[in-house]
Amino acid sequence: MFCPKCGGLLVPKKENGKTVLVCSCGYKKKAEGSDVTLKEAGKKSKPVEIVEKEEKVNVIVDAKCPKCGYGKAEYWEVQTRAADEPPTRFFKCLKCGHTWREYG
């Protein structure tokens, strides 16, 4: 039930052994019936899925790793500076996992 004065939620409260519905604005109303309870309903959430192995979604290109010298790396671009400047290219070595970047 909602408060007719302010529209807030009326909450059951015991006063002098009787249940009354009260609002935060001070409005009170005698509860009809002896069993007045406040219930909240919620949806059950789905269980969290655990990923066993990381899937590679980036493009694999020929790029020499500056750390180990391997010739293959994952590649992606991110706009790290102003929109009128070229994006930054990131690489991750497939052998040692070293990540480096090149500016356009």
Which residue from 12, 23, 92, 10 is spatially nearest to 58, judged by alpha carbons?
92
Secondary structure (DSSP) of 60-88? EEE---TTT--SEEEEEEE--S-TTSPPE
Catalytic residues: 84-85
d(CA 103, CA 80): 10
